């Protein structure tokens, strides 16, 4: 972890005891999430400092520790792959939210959320209307996420229904989840894969050949998502 990132993280965590003493619990919400699965890369070739990864220096501000692809896959197991992939190992991460109104602190919820749900949630918590019309001469694109605040407060309804397609793309790799089903496209192979996440969360059994009609239907949903959101690929 580069010094600037580590300093920010340590400073933020270290300030929590102070925040706890001074905060107004009625108007403070803490939301934390990782942006991706475990990183499997090595030390970048273009870097602005020379890391000292000696045993004595590990974890200090001028070290840059990476445990490689194999251990990254172990860290994300049983999910497939690591950071940078659209597979579950690259995208499925833990998150937590804290507020006095939540009746089940420490509870676990395995409902499906995406980063696109964060802004609608914050807007609902703060009572802020979503932006509309234009801003600085540019059209405001409608948000496509859903607030999960009701879910956090104990509502049992899923944030995303079984028929809601959720698309994503990174580095030419594509994915779409709809209910239990997920399609993956690899930019390296140019091939779509189809998985049933309920039965195969590790994405090891490609069902594309067994269910071509479903695959085509989900690909069409992804293409619609790409057109609506302006994905460049």
Summarize pLDDT for 34-43 with one digit per residue, the tens: 888 888 876 6
- Kindly report the backbone phi and psi dihedral angles of residue 17, in degrees, each rounded to the nearest multiple of 5, phi listed first: -60, -40
Task: Flag whether pLDDT at 12 surpasses 80.
Answer: no
> Are the beta carbons of 174 and 168 closer than 8 angstroms?
yes
Summarize pLDDT for 38-74 with one digit per residue, the tens: 888 766 666 677 888 899 998 888 888 888 888 999 9
Of the CATH numbers 3.40.50.2300, 3.90.1300.10, 3.40.50.360, 3.30.1120.10, which one belongs to the domain with range 161-233? 3.30.1120.10
Q: What is the pLDDT of residue 52?
A: 87
Percent of the chain having pLDDT more than 70? Answer: 87
CA 169/CA 185 separation, integer angstroms: 9
Label residue 100 by pLDDT band (50, 70, 90).
Answer: confident
Residues 6+ away with beta carbon under 8 Å from 223? none
Task: Flag whether pLDDT at 29 surpasses 60.
Answer: yes
Label residue 17 by pLDDT band (50, 70, 90).
Answer: low
Say how many residues make up the chain.
Answer: 233
Q: Give strand ranges (E) for the chain.
A: 30-33, 95-98, 134-135, 138-139, 165-170, 173-178, 181-186, 191-196
pTM: 0.82
């Amino acid at each position: 972890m580069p010094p600037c990132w580590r300093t920010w993280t340590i400073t933020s965590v270290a300030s929590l005891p102070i925040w706890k003493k001074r905060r107004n619990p009625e108007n403070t919400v803490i939301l934390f999430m990782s942006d991706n699965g475990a990183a499997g890369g090595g030390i970048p070739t273009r870097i602005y400092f020379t890391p000292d990864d000696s045993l004595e220096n590990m974890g200090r501000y001028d070290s840059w520790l990476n445990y490689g692809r194999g251990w990254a896959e172990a860290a994300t197991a049983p999910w497939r792959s690591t950071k940078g992939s659209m597979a579950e190992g690259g995208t499925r991460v833990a998150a937590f939210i804290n507020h006095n109104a939540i009746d089940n602190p420490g509870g676990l919820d395995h409902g499906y959320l995406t980063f696109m749900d964060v802004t609608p949630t914050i807007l609902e918590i703060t009572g802020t209307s979503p932006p509309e019309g234009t801003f600085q001469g540019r059209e405001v694109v409608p948000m496509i996420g859903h607030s999960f605040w009701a879910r956090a407060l104990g509502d049992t309804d899923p944030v995303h229904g079984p028929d809601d397609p959720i698309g994503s793309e990174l580095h030419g790799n594509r994915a779409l989840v709809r209910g239990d089903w997920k399609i993956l496209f690899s930019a390296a192979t140019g091939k779509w894969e189809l998985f049933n996440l309920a039965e195969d969360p590790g994405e090891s059994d490609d069902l594309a050949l067994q269910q071509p009609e479903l695959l085509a239907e989900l690909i069409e949903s992804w293409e619609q998502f790409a057109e609506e959101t302006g994905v460049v690929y």
